[in-house]
Chain A
Amino acid sequence: MPSTDAAPLTPLALSEDLPPATVMPIWTPEGPMALWRSVGGTLSLAADRCPHRGMRLSHGFVRGEALSCIYHGWSYDQGGRCLRIPAHPDLEPPASIRVATGSVLEAGGVIWRARADDPSLPPDFPGFVPLRSLSFAVSRDVISRTLGGESAGPGILKGTLAGSAVILLCAEQAEGTSLIHLLAPADATLDQRIAVSRAAETLRRAAETGTTEAAA
């Protein structure tokens, strides 16, 4: 199967939400993907569909440097190649058994969907650190309007929540929903961070109910 590298840089998840030896489901315009980090810390992105019987690989488990499927335990390396078929322990899996993969980049605590043929680096946001990701049941435009902030590049919004400057990285998801990665000032205190997180909930309620009451 070919690699599915088509989209430009889009934010996928926050580094802190994916510690070593874990996997998480990701939605991308090409379909569902499994984002995983090996025990040694290497990040990989695989199609969320095991080539064997279609089980979602994001339900699987990470041992060492491989991602294993929960259904029959087939495991895959970071390049998508099948390493092991437990039903046939002595079989070297044929090289043709592969899961489609994609490229990712990690910078400033954010994991981005990258293009193998595109050397551009993800944007960096000096003075800001990731706070949390949350999904909204509305489109990016509605969020932007509700926040009342300004655009700072494709899918990037700047605004104010609970009196703190914030950056919102927006990724469109299935069925008109959006995934937001929220960045807060690096020097914000614990209380300020908690206040920003709560204000993001207020922003979401406002965006989803169509009110524009300022969350700031």
Chain B
Amino acid sequence: MKLYDYILSPSCYKVRLLAALLGIPLELRAVDFHPGGEHRTPALLALNPAGSIPILEDDDLRLTESAAMLVYLASLKSSDWLGRDTAAEAARTEQWLSFAQRLTASLGGARLCEMLLRPGDLAALQAAGIAALRELEAALVEQRLRGERFLVADRPTIADIACFPYVALAPDGSVSLDPYPSIRLWLRAVRALPGFIEMPGIHRLHELKPEPVHGAEGEPA
């Protein structure tokens, strides 16, 4: 399975992250998104006329929407991650997959302006991003009241993976995450999943590893 990938793209990272969590190997093909703009070259437009990445190819299947890629990976490996146990759960998963596109447009747009100098109305993108974060926070508060740590259940699903990257990287677009305690705990829960991989801007939870003992080789601390 081949992923046209960019190390700084949160949308590509969604796919890499779920593949890592599920143990699915990916062949990565790096796309020179910045500064090269390779995603808009004829060769890449031939694969995805929309001129965006990620692009995922598996035999004769070619996908250009990250949400569809998450569905595909989860379907290959584990129905738990699909978030489709009940009619309501399936609908809520879809709701978050669509919501994730708002995150891409708002927080992702602000990040491209602030970080990679892409032209855009920064204040409007940030305001839309804050509105989305408030919705997410409210939903996560309700989930916690129900005793569930993730977006649609007490287990992680593709809904969480679809929303995680742009939320975690909101500060890249100068949108603070300080005001959202439930988002903070949810981000942490995702980062603590076995097999989690990071991307630049999202640091590892160093506390998951014990503090190294120095000068006491073989002896208890």
A interface residues with partner B (beta carbon < 8 Å): 13-14, 16-17, 19, 21-22, 24-25, 27, 59, 61-64, 68, 70, 73, 84, 89-90, 131-135, 179, 190, 193-194, 197-198, 201
Contact = CB atoms under 8 A, between A and B. Distances in A.
Contact of A132 (B178, B182, B214): B182
A193 B138 CA distance: 12
Nearest to A193: B145
Nearest to B138: A201
The size bracket of the interface on B is: 20 to 34
Given A62-B207, A90-B214, A22 B188 contact: yes
B206 A24 contact: no
10 contacts: A16-B144, A17-B182, A21-B207, A63-B210, A63-B211, A70-B206, A89-B214, A90-B214, A190-B146, A201-B138
B137 interface: yes
A128 to B, nearest CB: 15
Contacts of B144: 16
A197 B142 contact: yes
Closest 8 CB pairs of A and B: A17-B181, A89-B214, A135-B179, A61-B207, A61-B206, A25-B178, A132-B141, A63-B211
Interface in B126-166: 134, 137-138, 141-142, 144-146
A63 B144 CA distance: 25
Nearest to A32: B178
Contacts of B137: 134
B205 interface: yes
B138 A61 contact: no
Nearest to A132: B141
Contact of B138 (A70, A84, A197): A197
A27 B178 CA distance: 9
Given A17-B182, A25-B178, 13 more contacts: A14-B181, A16-B144, A17-B181, A21-B207, A59-B203, A63-B207, A89-B215, A90-B214, A132-B181, A190-B146, A194-B145, A197-B145, A201-B134
Contacts of B207: 21, 61-63
Contacts of A132: 141, 181-182
B24 interface: no
